[in-house]
Chain A
Amino acid sequence: MARLRVDFIACQGRGLCAEALPELITLDDWGFPIVSGQPVPPRLWPDARETVRSCPLLALRLERVNR
């Protein structure tokens, strides 16, 4: 199981993540990502990894959660 986590201290609201993964990430009224707390479906794992890589601030993480 994997979850997307945002480091809001690093995030500067550039918005690349919402463009890359609109299925799971939207932007709030100030341009910062709202990430669903739900696990990332396996079919989106490659896209999620690419989205994590594309963040210029390294503010996005894909966490393995063993629950």
Chain B
Amino acid sequence: MSSQVLWFVSRGSGLALLAGFSAVAVLGIAARLGSVPKGWSRLGLGELHRTLALFCVAFLGLHVLTAILDPYVTIGWAATVLPFASPYRATAIGLGALAVDLGGTVLITSLARRRLGYRAWRAVHWLGYLAWPAAFWHSVTAGADLRTWWVTLMVWGCAAAVATACLARLLSWRPL
């Protein structure tokens, strides 16, 4: 497989993942809001959050694989999970590894939710609020070709969506 194809798939999948994980984040944050718009299904939003997250994780495999296999840049397998272990653009890739670590922890605890118990699962799930910014900053520094207008639109659109969801959540926070 030519280096260019791997490069495109890696960057393309990265962009798709940014959109995907942003949607997952928005759906997850929205689940905690007090009410849903009329006609919207709480169950549907919840299931979508879960299904989309799992799909993105699978897609993430493709993103990481094509980036590692690309002979043009040297990243190394270790850098997928060890932040700042990549010889090529250590910080940018490192942020991606951080997102994988944090997101991976959220994933594993969610799959074992029943055994873990609600309180422990919920505590770990908060890491999602760290995983998304790490993934976002990774995509801006390591990936996004901000000279392309629609890439810029997508990137900042995702940021705006997540920021809006966070704001809505903060504003709807009722004292216990």
Which A residue sits closest to B50, measured CB to CB? A54
Pair A15/B118 contact, Cβ less than 8 Å = no
Bound: A65/B167 CA distance, A: 46
Pair B46/A56 contact, Cβ less than 8 Å = yes
Bound: A20/B47 CA distance, A: 11
Tell me what chain A mostly uses at the interface: helix, strand, loop, or mixed.
loop
Known interface pairs A54-B47, A56-B31; A15-B42 also in contact (CB < 8 Å): yes
Pair A19/B42 contact, Cβ less than 8 Å = yes
Interface size on B, residues (CB 8 A): 12
Asked if B113 is an interface residue, CB under 8 A from chain A, the answer is: yes
Q: Which of B31, B43, B117, B121 is A19 in contact with, Cβ under 8 Å? A: B43
Asked if A44 is an interface residue, CB under 8 A from chain B, the answer is: no
Tell me the minimal C-beta distance from A44 to chain B in angstroms. 16
Q: How many A-B residue pairs have CB under 8 A?
A: 24
Asked if B2 is an interface residue, CB under 8 A from chain A, the answer is: no
Asked if B41 is an interface residue, CB under 8 A from chain A, the answer is: yes
Tell me the minimal C-beta distance from A25 to chain B in angstroms. 11
Interface residues on A, range: 10 to 19
Asked if B114 is an interface residue, CB under 8 A from chain A, the answer is: yes
Asked if A57 is an interface residue, CB under 8 A from chain B, the answer is: yes
Pair B42/A14 contact, Cβ less than 8 Å = yes
Which B residue sits closest to A52, measured CB to CB? B114
What residues on A are CB-neighbors of B44 within 8 Å?
19
Tell me the minimal C-beta distance from B174 to chain A in angstroms. 12
Which A residue sits closest to B41, measured CB to CB? A19
Mask, A13-34, CB within 8 Å of B = 1, is 0111001100000000000000
Contact residues of B with A, CB < 8 Å?
31, 41-44, 46-47, 113-114, 117-118, 121
Contact residues of A with B, CB < 8 Å?
10, 14-16, 19-20, 54, 56-58
